[in-house]
Amino acid sequence: MATPMTVGTPAPTGVIAEYFGPAGGSTAYYYYIQAIYPSGRSLLTSSNLVTTAAALTSSGFILVQWNAMAGAIGYNVFRTASTTLPTVGTIFLGSVTANAYTDTGTPALSTGQVIVDGVRIARGYYDFAADGGGAPGLITLAQSDSIPLGAIMIGGVIKVKTAFVGATNVGVGTSAGSSSTALIVSTAIATLNTGTVSGVTALVPTNTTPVLMTAAGTLTITSTVAPLSAGKMDILVEYLMPLA
């Protein structure tokens, strides 16, 4: 299994909401929590259904709690009356640094839009000394981030650090979710070693059709005709993670 290279933005886990107040009533609420990291915001995690007796007050409130996420610097709290993942028109309650929020209905709530950071970066690194070359074919990288199911890869670059030797051509793709050459079609190593823009080669989606990941996968390279016998390469992939 590849070792991740980039700190991700995992969504909060263990989101639980509990009502404290008078019994009865049928007002239903769901809460969605979004973690905030230095590198961006996560997807959202829903709480359980909570039913209250009346309008929320200091004596009839909802306590929402979740697991503290490693690396998170804060959390956005949203409230809805539906199980539908919130987008525009969601009640944004505010941002907190603790892994809990008490909803008393005040101060005045505001209607906001959930923002899930658009472009994210996945990184992989090929090193012949660690990954080998072997027979021509797929090479799974020892160091690679996982690109999640549903991600849309829109571009990126590769940078050959030490010239490839051996194989006639090399392609870049993922171990699952796309083809083994979805990011760079089989390309002559002379071209990759030189690079097309100041020593950097653009990945295919930059100039053609974006690639939708149908399963989670790590970055891979594929050699053809002959095995690789030397080389190092950095791979940086840009992808979007749309709302589910």
In sequence order, which residues have a C-beta less than 8 Å from that of residue 1 and are 6 or more positions away? Answer: none
pLDDT digits (tens, 9 = 90+) for 66-79: 999 998 989 989 88
CA distances from 20 to 77, 79, 104, 107 (A): 19, 17, 10, 18
pTM of the model: 0.64
Q: What does the H/E/C string look like for the chain? A: CCECCCCCCCCCCCCEEEEECCCCCCEEEEEEEEEEECCEEEEEEECCCEEECCCCECCEEEEEECCCCCCCCEEEEEEECCCCCCCEEEEEEEEECCCEEEECCCCCCEEEECCCCCEEEEEEEEEHHHHCCCCCEEEECCEECEECCCCEEEEEEEEEEEEEECCCEEEEEECCCCCCCCCEEEEEHHHHHHCCECCEEECHHHCCCCEECCCCEEEEEEEECCCCCEEEEEEEEEEECCCC
If pLDDT is split at 50, 70 and 90, which confidence band does 52 have?
confident
pLDDT digits (tens, 9 = 90+) for 16-42: 999 998 877 778 889 999 898 877 788
What is the model's pLDDT at position 134? 75
What is the model's pLDDT at position 223? 92
What is the model's pLDDT at position 43? 80
d(CA 126, CA 122): 14
Which residue(s) pair with 221 in the sheet?
A: 139, 172
If pLDDT is split at 50, 70 and 90, which confidence band does 205 have?
low
Give 43 or 163, the one with higher predicted confidence. 163
Please check whether residue 226 is in contact with residue 140, taking contact to mean a CB–CB distance below 8 angstroms. Answer: no
